[in-house]
């Protein structure tokens, strides 16, 4: 049977890459649509490489986006994100991707989904996975997004034009609220591990924060060192699943999804070498993080993970707030992660003991890598 061809754009957004589709080019049936996504990216691949598709064998390189005219009165475009498992026939829609969100505005302009005049523009994005509104601000020249600039992004070679993403009212993006358990800290009873102290925060995405020392780490470990500790992944997944239950995302650990919540190991600043060999001094950042996604270590902190961490720092009593070492107001928070340092601003408000995430923002770069049709084996 001959291959089918589906219009698509292959784009980088922040430290992720993915295939972008217009909803009008996809079947309405969710199962048929997901079959296209799996085939396009080369999943499932028991070898973990996705060589028969556009994926790259990592969660950050195995993503899809669906764009459509907005169904929200305060937005210009609907953005639906799908996390495609590398080694399983799964497309997870339970979370938003902040990195690929940076490419949504530019791709929407390129495809004519959002009309734009030259100059600085703001595209209002409705993230359908979470119901969240995001404002993407970038420059348009000669009718197309500007991609050349002087912004360097940790984990991405070269420089690009800045894209500012502002996430509005991000609390409860996935769960019932900013602090879904009602506490700034919780002690989880984790099967086989005993009591584990964590902070459960849902700001643009749901995260379980655990201190590095709690799981026998320092927070400065390289990805190679972390990958070598296979039992560590299993222990952290137990903690993640227990956190998911405490956040109300499932009634038992086995029912907690692969994509959400994510788990982040945080620690005090220590000297470390970034993936490109750059030496990062302890004085260069405020808090360290190493993140797991879909059972694998991220080479860079996810955008929503960074936004959630910065928001957690701004909530008194959380583990991130306790660890955060900056003597200046926590805007922006300097986050040390495997690819270097990322700065994120976050604003919170506390009224009568109840915390609210007002907004969080960061800068990314993005650009279209290819436009055309992706071939689907039928």
Our count of domains for the chain comes to 2
**Domain encompassing residue 207:** 186-351
- Summary mean pLDDT of the chain: 96
Q: Does the pLDDT value for residue 138 go beyond 90? A: yes
Is there a single domain that holds both residue 239 and residue 343?
yes
Is there a single domain that holds both residue 14 and residue 117?
yes
Residue 291 counted as domain residue:
yes
Q: Does the pLDDT value for residue 36 go beyond 90? A: yes
The length of the chain in residues reads 378
pLDDT in tens, 187-241: 999 999 999 999 999 999 999 999 999 999 988 889 999 999 989 999 999 999 9
Residue 359 counted as domain residue:
no
| Spatial separation of the C-alpha atoms in residues 149 and 170, rounded to whole Å | 29
Is there a single domain that holds both residue 264 and residue 153?
no
Packing angle of the helix pair 303-313, 98-110 (nearest 10 deg)? 130
CATH number at residue 82: 3.10.310.10
Residue 285: partners with Cβ closer than 8 Å, 6 or more residues away: 269, 334, 335, 336, 341
Is there a single domain that holds both residue 85 and residue 117?
yes
Give the SS3 label for residue 8.
Answer: strand
| Spatial separation of the C-alpha atoms in residues 62 and 59, rounded to whole Å | 5
Is there a single domain that holds both residue 251 and residue 139?
no
pTM for the predicted model, two decimal places: 0.93
Residue 256 counted as domain residue:
yes
Is there a single domain that holds both residue 291 and residue 342?
yes
Is there a single domain that holds both residue 280 and residue 310?
yes
Is there a single domain that holds both residue 141 and residue 190?
no
Is there a single domain that holds both residue 142 and residue 248?
no
Q: What integer pLDDT is reported at residue 275 of this predicted model?
A: 95
Residue 340 counted as domain residue:
yes
- Which residue is listed with tokens 């689907």? 376
- Which residue is listed with tokens 């956190």? 243
Q: Which of 39, 135, 129, 32 is nearest to 363 (CA)?
A: 135
- Range of weakest confidence among 11-20, 217-226, 245-254, 335-344: 217-226
Residue 360 counted as domain residue:
no
pLDDT in tens, 62-88: 999 999 999 999 999 999 999 999 999
Q: What are the structure tokens assigned to 339, written together?
A: 């690819």
Is there a single domain that holds both residue 320 and residue 195?
yes
* Per-residue H/E/C for 67-134: EEECCCCCCCEEEEEEEECCCCCCEECCCCCHHHHHHHHHHHHHCCCCCCCCEEEEEEEEECCCCEEE
Largest CA distance in the chain: 64
Is there a single domain that holds both residue 69 and residue 208?
no
pLDDT in tens, 272-321: 999 999 999 999 999 999 999 888 999 999 999 999 999 999 999 999 99
Residue 227 counted as domain residue:
yes
| Spatial separation of the C-alpha atoms in residues 369 and 367, rounded to whole Å | 6
Interior angle at CA 204, CA 198 and CA 207, nearest 5: 20
Is there a single domain that holds both residue 337 and residue 370?
no
């Amino acid at each position: 049977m001959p291959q089918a061809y589906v219009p698509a754009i292959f784009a980088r957004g922040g430290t992720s890459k993915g295939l972008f589709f217009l909803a009008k080019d996809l079947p309405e049936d969710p199962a048929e649509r997901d079959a296209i996504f799996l085939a396009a990216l080369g999943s499932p691949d028991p070898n973990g490489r996705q060589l028969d598709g556009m994926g790259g064998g990592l969660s950050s390189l195995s993503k899809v986006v669906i764009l459509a005219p907005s169904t929200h009165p305060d937005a210009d475009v609907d953005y639906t994100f799908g996390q495609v498992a590398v080694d399983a026939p799964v497309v997870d829609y339970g979370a938003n991707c902040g990195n690929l969100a940076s490419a949504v505005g530019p791709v929407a302009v390129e495809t004519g989904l959002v009309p734009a005049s030259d100059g600085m523009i703001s595209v209002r994005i409705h993230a359908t996975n979470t119901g969240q509104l995001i404002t993407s601000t970038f420059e348009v020249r000669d009718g197309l997004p500007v991609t050349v600039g002087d912004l360097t992004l940790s984990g991405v070679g070269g420089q690009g034009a800045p894209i500012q993403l502002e996430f509005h009212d991000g609390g409860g993006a996935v769960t019932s609220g900013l602090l879904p358990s009602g506490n700034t800290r919780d002690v989880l009873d984790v099967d086989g591990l005993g009591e584990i102290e964590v902070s459960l925060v849902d700001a643009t995405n749901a995260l379980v924060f655990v201190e590095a020392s709690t799981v026998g780490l320092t927070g400065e470990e390289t990805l190679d060192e972390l990958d070598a500790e296979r039992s560590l992944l299993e222990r952290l997944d137990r903690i993640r699943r227990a956190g998911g239950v405490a956040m109300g995302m499932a009634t038992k650990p086995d029912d907690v999804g692969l994509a959400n919540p994510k788990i982040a190991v945080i620690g005090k600043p220590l000297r470390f070498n970034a993936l490109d060999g750059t030496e990062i001094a302890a004085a260069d950042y405020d808090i360290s993080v190493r993140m797991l996604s879909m059972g694998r270590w991220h080479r860079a902190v996810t955008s929503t993970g960074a936004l959630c961490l910065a928001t957690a720092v701004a909530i008194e009593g959380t583990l991130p707030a306790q660890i955060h070492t900056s003597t200046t107001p926590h805007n922006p928070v300097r986050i040390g992660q495997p690819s270097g340092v990322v700065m994120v601003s976050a604003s919170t408000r506390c009224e009568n003991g109840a915390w609210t995430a007002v907004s969080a923002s960061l800068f990314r770069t993005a650009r279209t890598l290819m436009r055309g049709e992706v071939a689907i084996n039928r």
